[in-house]
Structure 1
Amino acid sequence: NLAGFCRNCLSNWYREAAEADGIALTKDESREIIYGMPYAQWQALNQTEASEAKKAEFEARRPKDH
């Protein structure tokens, strides 16, 4: 979360930009583009429960409008 936003936010912005250009994308399709694989597959390979310290760090750094 060093950039101040997550990949899911990026995939949402990507989908919105595509739709503005008349290209329909589902949430899953835009996530697959951003993650380079289906989101469920990425989660199974990479996502683990965060430690309490990591959760606190995330809360301290995350944008307050989310």
Structure 2
Amino acid sequence: MTHPDDLTDAQRTELDAAAFRRLLAHLDDHKEVQNIDLMLLADFCRNCLGDWWREAAAERGIDLSRTDARARVYGMDPDDWKAQYQTETSPEKLEAFKAKQAAKAGG
């Protein structure tokens, strides 16, 4: 059995990319999972993934807009996705999100 430390950089990159594509497909298959749900559970959401992808591009000298990077994650324009799939967030979820953000900020 191969240990991850024995993989080449190219193999690791290929596997990382495949896992990322699978994550995007999984999120696409589960549009009922809202960004607020992801934020409350895992402290990241589709927007975060798009922003991280944009930052990775910038580190490599590639200039992408925030919207274009997020569209990579959403599989469409983020505003179109929100119009089609985003539901209204409950007051309880909003309060939980605010409390989580305040706790992260130390307050």
Q: TM-score range by the shorter chain?
A: 0.7 to 0.9
SS of the equivalent of 1:23 reads coil
Q: Which runs of 5+ in 1 are unaligned?
A: none
SS of the equivalent of 1:31 reads helix
Cα distance between partner residues in 1 of 2:61 and 2:72: 17
Letter in 1 for 2:42: A
Q: Which fold has the larger relative contact order, with Cα–Cα distance below 8 Å and residues 6 or more apart in sequence? A: 1
Q: Which residue of 1 aligns with 2:91?
A: 52
- Do residues 64 (structure 1) and 104 (structure 2) align? yes
Q: Percent identity?
A: 46
| Aligned pairs for 1:21-60 within 5 A | 21-60=60-99
Cα distance between partner residues in 1 of 2:52 and 2:71: 13
Number of paired residues?
A: 65
Q: Which runs of 5+ in 2 are unaligned?
A: 1-38
Instruction: Return the structure number with greater helix share.
Output: 2
- Do residues 16 (structure 1) and 38 (structure 2) align? no
String of CA shifts for 1:27-62, please: whole Å, max 9, x gaps: 111010011111011010112221111212223344
Length-normalised TM-score, structure 1: 0.78
Greater Cα radius of gyration, structure 1 or 2: 2
Cα distance between partner residues in 2 of 1:18 and 1:58: 29
Cα distance between partner residues in 1 of 2:84 and 2:66: 20
Superposition RMSD in Å: 1.8
Letter in 2 for 1:64: K
